[in-house]
A and B are shown apart, each in its own frame.
Chain A
């Protein structure tokens, strides 16, 4: 684990320096990245120019959901977003060059083509989150203050697990990155809206099957002082770290199974 993190850091540093070899291009793509993710929020603002409430939620409340989902996803995307390229490495055989090095393959694949410009999404998410907090008249309890950072980190962990599991799936189906995207990018967009605008079946699905609801919905609803639509017991709002750990364990198992399969079939 420590060896993996160290290798991850080494490779991330190399990619960052590679990106800085083209300084202008780096700054431009970072700016574009920041602006493009901002368009999502612009869509929400446009909606609120026509309506006062969305699924019973005010603009600052939706902004709070948007900011928490965006930040959590942004953290996972920065750290592991390039893993979707694994399928390409399996197809062209360059994965083999990673398998002959004395450091964990997962760390190498996770750091592969690390793109610092993805930090734009985190910055944008945090800005919206801060804005929403200043507009919401929340009564912050000590518990809420713990809940917020915990929610962001656990959310990043859950999304990270989806990235790893999605990449693991590409050992079997080389071009599965679109399926993965629907869960990662799609999931992040879903969580920007209040659960009350979606059908109950969908909310159940992202709670019990693909536990994205733990990224922000469940804990955020508590901070916002709202009931969750499924009427789950209150302690569930504090479950995100456990859910994140469980997801990461499952994703790790999927990764090991995928790598084992690759090593027995070659591609």
Chain B
């Protein structure tokens, strides 16, 4: 009996590519690359999931299989009960896809015209189209942009335009590939707020790939980390830090140059004149460290750096491959 509430189901899904490489003037080497190596997970309807991992880990291959672009080499995959690779066009009516770097809007035409094409292509009835367009325009501040040719929009405006285009047909699942890449702080905040609203009000399931930890923190209750084609983590964000053994960094400017400071539960990573970088476990609080430092030395300025998602994942992978079997 399949889980009826699961909107996305993957069961040992694999994707193997045949890579041909030229090794000499006439010799060619054939090699198999397992881009996705047996991934299983389910996503219930209405969840927002972050799908992260370093470049080449298999993120976009997974998303391409979920959208029906690529045919899996093995395993079972269902989205809204549909086998994406077999019924790609039927599935297309029920999903929305935003490719961060590739706009689907019409460059030389007013933004409104791109939406009109979506309406006709998806055969969205007039009332529903009106309602969805009004909602997107209101929430994403698109009203002043509707009659502007897309080529004149900024990157952030265009991304908002693209996200609206992907939602006009009321998709049950929204896939976003790097939706905030290259955007300024204000645009990022708008996009995130909009996605939250869509998820809570429409119940749209969202799966996003990103390199931006803040996207994950503000949107996703669940994170999946993929590396070398395998799922190395599936859970909450806090657990991710613990599992990855990651560290935050306290950057301190002292009044004068000091030898590397020594603190319990922390270590000095780097010294540059009066500035020092002090690493401590991500799960620990920075407050006692700051109090201790300020008590001992004159502190001019300090800031806390969050661990880069890449570092967290790198550590996590290093840990998973060196751990005894």
Contact = CB atoms under 8 A, between A and B. Distances in A.
Interface of A: 7, 10-11, 14, 17-18, 21-22, 93-94, 96-97, 99-104, 260, 263-266
A265 B102 contact: no
Contact of A100 (B61, B68, B113): B68
A18 B106 contact: yes
A104 B88 CA distance: 10
B90 A100 contact: no
B89 A264 contact: no
B315 interface: no
Which interface class (under 10, 10 to 19, 20 to 34, 35 or more) fits B? 20 to 34
A97 B113 CA distance: 18
B107 A266 contact: no
Nearest to B97: A100
Contact of A14 (B97, B99, B102, B117): B117
A5 to B, nearest CB: 13
A102 B121 contact: yes
A21 B113 CA distance: 13
Contacts of A93: 102
Contact of A103 (B89, B102, B106): B89
Nearest to A264: B71
B92 A100 contact: yes
A11 B70 CA distance: 24
A263 B121 contact: no
A102 B104 contact: no
Contact of A18 (B71, B92, B107): B107
Q: Which 5 A-B pairs have the closest CB atoms?
A: A102-B92, A18-B108, A21-B108, A100-B97, A99-B69
Given A100-B67, A264-B71, A265-B18, A21 B61 contact: no
Contact of A97 (B88, B104, B117, B120): B104
Given A102-B92, A263-B85, A97 B99 contact: yes
A266 B104 contact: no
11 contacts: A11-B117, A14-B109, A17-B113, A18-B107, A94-B102, A99-B67, A101-B89, A101-B92, A102-B121, A264-B73, A265-B18
Interface in B1-42: 17-18
B34 to A, nearest CB: 13
A43 B102 CA distance: 44
B250 interface: no
Nearest to A92: B102
Which of the listed residues A102, A103, A263 has the most CB atoms from chain B within 10 Å of its own CB?
Answer: A102
Contacts of B70: 263-264, 266
Which of the listed residues A22, A93, A263, A265 has the most CB atoms from chain B within 10 Å of its own CB?
Answer: A263
B54 interface: no
Given A97-B102, A97-B104, A266-B70, A10 B117 contact: yes
Contacts of A11: 117
B149 interface: yes
A102 B93 contact: yes
Nearest to A13: B117
Contacts of A99: 67-69, 88
B102 A266 contact: no
Contacts of B122: 102
B89 A96 contact: no
A22 B109 CA distance: 11
Contacts of A22: 108
Contacts of A260: 71
B95 interface: yes
Interface string B84-124: 01001110110101010010101111000100010011100
Contacts of B120: 10
Contacts of A264: 70-71, 73
B196 interface: no
A95 B154 CA distance: 24
B78 interface: no
B165 to A, nearest CB: 11
B71 to A, nearest CB: 5
A82 B239 CA distance: 51
A264 B70 CA distance: 6
B71 A21 contact: no
B95 A100 contact: yes
B64 interface: yes
A14 B67 CA distance: 25
Contact of A17 (B18, B89, B92, B109): B109
Nearest to A10: B120
